[in-house]
Amino acid sequence: MSKQPVEQFLDSSRLKQAYINGEWIALSGNAPFDVINPATEEPAATIHLGNRDDLNKAVAAAKAAFPIWANTPVETRLAALDKIIELIEARTELLANLMSLEMGATLAYARGTQVPLAAAHIRVARENLAKYEFTEMRGTTAVTREPIGVAGLITPWNWPLYQVTAKVGPALAVGCSIILKPSELSPLSALAFAQIIHDAGVPAGVFNLVNGNGIDVGEPMASHPDIDMISFTGSTRAGVLVAQAAAPTVKRVGQELGGKSPNILLPDADFASAVGPGVQAGMRNNGQSCSAPTRMLVPRERLAEVEKLAAESAESIVIGLADNELATHGPVANKPQFERVQTMIQRGIDEGARCVTGGTGRPEGFDRGYYVRPTVFSDVTPDMDIAQEEIFGPVLCLIPYDSVEHAIQIANDTVYGLAAHVQSTDLDAARKVARQIRCGQVLINYPTWDPQAPFGGFKQSGSGREYGIEGLEEYLEIKAIVGFETQA
């Protein structure tokens, strides 16, 4: 019997290689590293991790390829992006299976959300490139935007393909060359994406991938003098280290970091239809999203009503194995995250918050795997750790407020400022509140995801923007050519 595509992929030598200068090559580092399936706690695959020597090879290849790719016609880059989109869609099943193995997404969620949203980032980059004006005239001065150069991309484990394409799409579109370091905890879909880049005919050296950890590859990427910018998505703690490493070379650093996003239910909101979607949004991808609205702010007099609705929604979540078509949620992605979530749930109990549903330990019926009970806390005060720290799991805090002004104060009372939600039947009221929340993106009444909406943070949630035109321009430098035209 012939092997299925995922089996063929896991048996292939590329898991132990880097993709550099258009070829799969052996890593100098060659350190084996098990990728753990969070549903079984057993290895799903073994990859090899690279080191500084591997990174240097990738940087040399990207540096040599940059001037050629930067000067290719827009039509050539558009055609490459079209082919990448086609191949992502054609290989949905392989990519979905790999993400299920590496970070625990159910197959249904990986097929229906993780892969399509990843393809959407490439599609948006293609659409924006097709209409982008790289030169504008200001009198006799030409203001041009040119690719910044070699881009180092460091991506996280929670949305392993989605975050890759959010960076690779615009970088490729404008003419940058790339070195990608995916998270070593969930690298499989990124390796499959590298093969897609190869099969799409992207020229050698334009895209390179080196697996590795933060010490041996991530830090040298940030400090490398021949890398012109770093785009990093991950924790605020790690983001600070990346910025410090990058500082001596004065390169651009774009960072999408942590969040503790509020969801304000204004007094006039339709609570019966607003609470449930808010719970599901906070627990989407098992709460492993930096923008997850994990603080639900509600009028104090409506708290009991919200508790009941929130518990019902959390208890409707079906936890199961990847191939269970009825399952909405699998395990959290890795052991450190499982332990972190368990610690924070216990801390919430110790702090005096009231556990409405969920709690510590695995859900009933699971004695292995990094499965977490969807948990709702009430009577949470803004100073509690569970209201201030990013838990990154399916844990929701219900925080009562006494006035709209009080709600806005609570919403802004964290070190983060990534995203927020506002629910109201009065659109003008929602808009007024949205303008007062210090964060990079506000969503009113659970709108459809918009990949053209710029995304990024205020405060310790990062700097720079991804998605949309703003995400494209992160990879561009501005040049003014004064006297470009003769004065009349």
R_g of the chain, CA atoms, integer Å? 23
Does residue 388 contact residue 371 with C-beta atoms inside 8 Å? no
Measured CA to CA, the distance from residue 217 to residue 474 in angstroms comes to 23
Question: What type of residue sits at position 481?
Answer: I
Beta bridge partners of 401: 299
Measured CA to CA, the distance from residue 185 to residue 187 in angstroms comes to 6
Q: Is 256 a catalytic residue?
A: yes
Does residue 472 contact residue 172 with C-beta atoms inside 8 Å? no
Measured CA to CA, the distance from residue 135 to residue 76 in angstroms comes to 19
Please count the other Cβ atoms lying within 10 Å of the Cβ belonging to residue 284.
18
Measured CA to CA, the distance from residue 323 to residue 204 in angstroms comes to 37
Beta-carbon-side half-sphere exposure of residue 96 (alpha carbons within 13 Å): 19
Measured CA to CA, the distance from residue 246 to residue 40 in angstroms comes to 38
From the candidates 102, 184, 256, 474, which is the catalytic residue? 256
477: enclosing H helix or E strand: strand 476-481
Measured CA to CA, the distance from residue 322 to residue 369 in angstroms comes to 12
Measured CA to CA, the distance from residue 357 to residue 224 in angstroms comes to 48
User: Which residues, 6 or more positions from 482, have their beta carbon under 8 angstroms from its beta carbon?
Assistant: 140, 141
User: Which residues, 6 or more positions from 138, have their beta carbon under 8 angstroms from its beta carbon?
Assistant: none
From the candidates 176, 290, 397, 439, which is the catalytic residue? 290
Residues identified as active-site = 256, 290
